A and B are shown apart, each in its own frame.
Chain A
Amino acid sequence: MDVTISQSTFERALSVAGRAVPSRATLPTLTHVLLQAEPGRLKVAGTDLNLAIITWEEALVSEPGGITVPAKPLAEFISALPDEPIHLRVHRETWTLQIVCGSYETAMKGLDPEEYPILPDLEGDGFALDPEDFRLAIDQVTFAAAADETRPILTGVLIRWEEGHGGGAGGAAALTLAAADGYRLSVKTLPVLRAPVAASEPGSTFSVIVPASTLKEVGRILKGETEPVSMMVLRGRNQVGFRLSRAAVLSQLIEGQFPDFQAIIPKRWETRVEISREALWKACKALSVFARETSNAVRLALIPGEGDQPGQVLLQSRSPEKGETRVAIDALVEGNRLEIAFNVRFLMDVLEAIEGDWVAFEMTTPQSPVKVLSVGDPSFVHVVMPMFL
């Protein structure tokens, strides 16, 4: 292998692929990154066998070939170099990577790339997704997934396809993404630019559970992406892949049955509030300081307007030591007056995930699940369980 690549490009590639490299592993090659010179580009890949991130960067390739080298020391060394062309050359007899950059020169011991796990190619037909829509969808669902490894299914995001069940704007083809951690649920419909041929047959359906952590990585790489992203399920391998213009993410799927989330979404309401997202978020932020020692509880009183009096939402947090804090916000309140309590962290999470200026809450009783919507955006539904005080 003989490659010349710019320092900043190489540094970026290493930081992207490095996110899949485990810091400790029983298999020594797993703590390495794979460098593979292909015509006109350098491929950099990392994997912990559950997640693989592959990225390609433009490079001047004089001789194809590859090597694996310890990921962390390489990334640290490269980031310390000046932004000048880096020349990489592999000595196959000793599997040594020689790195020359300006007046800097080093040699790193590596391993035969044949010993590195084989990462399947992600060529083929997939769901084409708009990168910005997809990134937003990831942000809106992954926060509701569980961090709790004892219930693995809930650490994943369900991605479901039902041919003919559009759900997207104007009934366009769409995927449904859902995540739940036991206390809350986020559901998002994501328009599909083009469905693969296999999924376009009438009645075709599938659903997979993708680790939320994988999607967060995809979301991170999607920043700045302009080309459509292709998502493909590798059925035989129980894997899912995401192909971007200069990167690919491959991940194991989580096996099991995702809870029936449709049954959890409330179908009716007794009290409905429309409120400024920003005003409510600011109030929550202020109250959270005082709610921290009392289980993060905030009480909300929802008071419908009367005559020319506008409706109001009164927020209050109470701490045995620090007393009470109150905030009142004008809002559109329909239906019955209601008092209800929430974990303020749950409220802030959903308010941060929603994009629109107005957010709606639909509730029935203080003990029942609450539906949270972004006003004017039918693609997102959130359900949160109130707290019992």
Chain B
Amino acid sequence: MPIRILDPGLVAQIAAGEVVERPASVVKELVENALDAGASRIEVEIEGGGRRRIRVADDGSGIPAAEVPLAFARHATSKLSSVEDLFRVTTLGFRGEALAAIAAVARVTCRTRAVGEDLGVELRIEGGRILAQRPLARPPGTEMIVEDLFFNTPARLKFLKGEGAERRQIDLWITRYALAYPHVHFVLRHNGREIFSLPAAREPRHRLAALYGAELADALLEVSEEADGVQVYGWISPPGIDRPDRQELVFFVNGRWVQDRMLPAAVLQAYHTLLPSGRYPWVFLWVKLPPERVDVNVHPAKIEVRFRDPDGLFRAVQRAVHRALRESTPVPVFQAAEIPVRATEFPARPVPMPSEDLAGEPAEERASPGLPPLRVIGQIQARYIIAEGPDGLYLLDQHAAHERVLYEALQAQRQQGPLPAQPLLQPVLIDVLPEEMSLLEENRGLLEELGFRIEPFGPRTVRLQAVPAVLSAEAILSVFQDLLLDLQESRRPVEGALEAQLIRSICKRAAVKAGQVLSVEQMQHLVRALERCAMPWACPHGRPTILRFPIGQLARQFGREE
């Protein structure tokens, strides 16, 4: 075949493929346009999973009659005029591709009236060609009807999933936008049946309640933190409320729903040790940062973004989530009694955030305040150890405290060489996925240093020959699953954190569990070991290990004159 310049129609169809992948992408683009037009009410009607008909109607600013045909030309947009603008995008759409792309692969009817104009216009386009244009009386706003999607690109039609799958995808998108824009009234209908109608809510929490139920919304913890021009706010589930998948790890960056690897990793790290393995939290987080610090022009569908300073953002998100989780610890409950004590007076001892928590460097060797000698009194709930010190009552979290002890011991051992390994009498054969296999192979050297001996044994099987000796009392397969999870989580932009992460996981698994009854001897041993730690106040994940209730405080609370 001779080389030819493609005809413009074909070019448009090919380009359309990048933006319009499936019905949900049409819905997304149209809803984004409606939001950019300042709509306060958006109605979405879907028929046949969006393949047959998609209708998105808004009460936004509308398109001036004279500009309507231009709106469907490729790279026509009202939202950008120069390259500089591209780096300061504040609207959802901007590439000027969407309408043209949709019009290239469907039968489109556009009815619109701009605010300030007396008459609206109706335009009908099919496969990119304008078929008809006529004046029309209608209220301000835009109504877009997209029918017979991909009627002229049978190849793409073939790759569409079933109606149910497309529908779920559309619902997912609308739910995300409904969350991001609580003040906009959203209506969603499928095949004539109303799925939801969400009146404008004053704050996102009400919208969360409307979408996910009041019970969940009430249980969520609020996150709110601003530092260095980055604002992180939203809601996260407390430990104890979790789900089996990552589906509800939802992030909005400057109002845009994004799917990104780093943000979930930051959140999950903050949750570390708080969730059983294989369980994930509910997370709805909004990140606001100056537009020049985020590049949304990575992918035509704009669900991926690139951050100018990913490490900084990672830390900011992790810190914000961490704080919200930490503030939900039992200390405030203790004070909730009718005790005239201000929260700040209780020395949940400001825990200096260990620097190794984020960067993976060993704790800096500084003169730590250290613990005074403690006398163990007992254990409560098979979870906490009560001890007496010269200056008050101490409460230790047995798991967190043991994690800290193990962490410092293993770090010290690591500095002298590999960690001791406990080989198995007979290797265990475990089937893995190809990507897990390559992760294991990539990190084989490091894993061996930490005590894991894992060899490939066929294309999809590995031989587990040894585990870190501290884990020899643990379930071998669970240890291995944890390891895979850590390796997968580790594919995030913070470099060099893997080893620290793996050591933290080893400690977490090897440490005494909450719920384990300890003998007085064991408790004494743990307390002694913690006293010797360089940073006894927090576990390797940054949670407190020990709380102090000063004598004076107790006296005041019991109404004693001292």
Contact = CB atoms under 8 A, between A and B. Distances in A.
Interface of A: 147-151, 180, 182-185, 259, 264, 289, 292-297, 319-321, 341, 343, 345, 367, 369, 383, 385-389
A388 B421 contact: yes
A346 to B, nearest CB: 8
Contacts of A259: 426
16 contacts: A149-B475, A150-B475, A151-B475, A182-B426, A264-B425, A292-B525, A293-B405, A294-B409, A295-B420, A367-B423, A369-B425, A385-B422, A387-B422, A387-B423, A388-B422, A388-B466
Given A320-B409, A321-B409, A388-B466, A343 B425 contact: no
A293 B526 CA distance: 10
B469 A295 contact: yes
Given A343-B472, A383-B425, 5 more contacts: A148-B478, A150-B478, A264-B425, A320-B412, A369-B425
B159 to A, nearest CB: 40
Interface in B508-529: 525, 529
Q: Which 3 pairs, one residue from A and one from B, show the smallest C-beta to C-beta distance?
A: A295-B469, A320-B412, A148-B475
A387 B422 CA distance: 5
B425 A185 contact: yes
Contact of A293 (B409, B423, B466, B478): B409
Interface string B121-159: 000000000000000000000000000000000000000
B525 A151 contact: no
Given A320-B412, A320-B416, A321-B409, A387 B425 contact: no
A182 B424 contact: yes
A348 to B, nearest CB: 13
Contacts of A151: 428, 475-477
Contacts of B470: 295-296
B425 A320 contact: no
B425 A296 contact: no
Contacts of B50: none
A183 B419 CA distance: 17
A385 B423 contact: yes
Contacts of A150: 475-478
A59 B476 CA distance: 49
Interface residues of B, number: 30
A293 B469 CA distance: 11
A264 B426 CA distance: 8
Nearest to B526: A292
Contacts of B405: 293
B469 A320 contact: no
B468 interface: yes
A294 B472 contact: no
Contacts of B406: 293
A183 B421 contact: no
Contacts of B416: 320
Nearest to B422: A387
B203 interface: no
B13 to A, nearest CB: 52
B415 to A, nearest CB: 8
A148 B469 contact: no
A153 to B, nearest CB: 12
B420 A389 contact: yes
Given A320-B416, A321-B412, A343 B476 contact: no
A345 B473 CA distance: 10
B391 interface: no
A358 to B, nearest CB: 24
Nearest to A369: B425
A381 to B, nearest CB: 13
Nearest to A386: B423
A264 B427 CA distance: 11
B474 interface: yes
Contacts of A296: 469-470, 472
Given A148-B475, A150-B478, A341-B420, A385 B425 contact: yes
A148 B474 contact: yes
Given A150-B475, A295-B469, A183 B424 contact: yes
B413 A343 contact: no
Contacts of B475: 147-151
B293 interface: no
Contact of A180 (B419, B425, B466): B425
A105 B263 CA distance: 65
Nearest to B421: A388
A387 B420 contact: yes
B425 A182 contact: yes
B422 A183 contact: yes
Contacts of B529: 292-293
A367 B466 CA distance: 11
B409 A387 contact: no
A321 B416 CA distance: 12
Contacts of A369: 425
Of B421, B470, B478, most buried by chain A (CB within 10 Å of CB) is B470
Interface string B460-495: 000000101110111111100000000000000000
Nearest to A295: B469
A295 B476 contact: no
Contacts of B478: 148, 150
B532 interface: yes
Of A151, A183, A386, most buried by chain B (CB within 10 Å of CB) is A183
Contacts of A147: 473, 475
Nearest to B534: A321
Contacts of B473: 147, 345
A363 B473 CA distance: 24
Contact of A297 (B420, B474, B532): B420
Given A148-B475, A369-B425, A388 B409 contact: no
Contacts of A385: 422-425
Contact of B428 (A182, A320, A386): A182
B419 A295 contact: yes
A264 B474 CA distance: 22
A185 B532 CA distance: 37
Contacts of B412: 320-321
Nearest to B521: A289
A183 B409 CA distance: 23
A309 to B, nearest CB: 31
A387 B421 contact: yes
Contacts of A389: 420
Of B412, B469, B470, B525, most buried by chain A (CB within 10 Å of CB) is B469
A385 B476 CA distance: 15
Contacts of B426: 182, 259, 264
Interface in B352-373: none
Contacts of A264: 425-426
Contacts of A320: 409, 412-413, 416
A289 B522 CA distance: 10
A244 B425 CA distance: 36
Given A385-B423, A389-B420, A148 B476 contact: yes
A184 B474 contact: no
A385 B412 CA distance: 25
A364 to B, nearest CB: 14
A174 B383 CA distance: 47
A238 B472 CA distance: 32
B462 to A, nearest CB: 16
A163 B162 CA distance: 62
B78 to A, nearest CB: 59
Contacts of A289: 525
A339 to B, nearest CB: 14
Nearest to B420: A295
A343 B532 contact: no
A259 B425 CA distance: 11
Contacts of A383: 425
A69 to B, nearest CB: 29
A264 B416 CA distance: 33
Of B419, B422, B423, B476, most buried by chain A (CB within 10 Å of CB) is B422
A382 B2 CA distance: 79
A369 B476 CA distance: 19
B472 A183 contact: yes
Interface in B435-469: 451, 466, 468-469
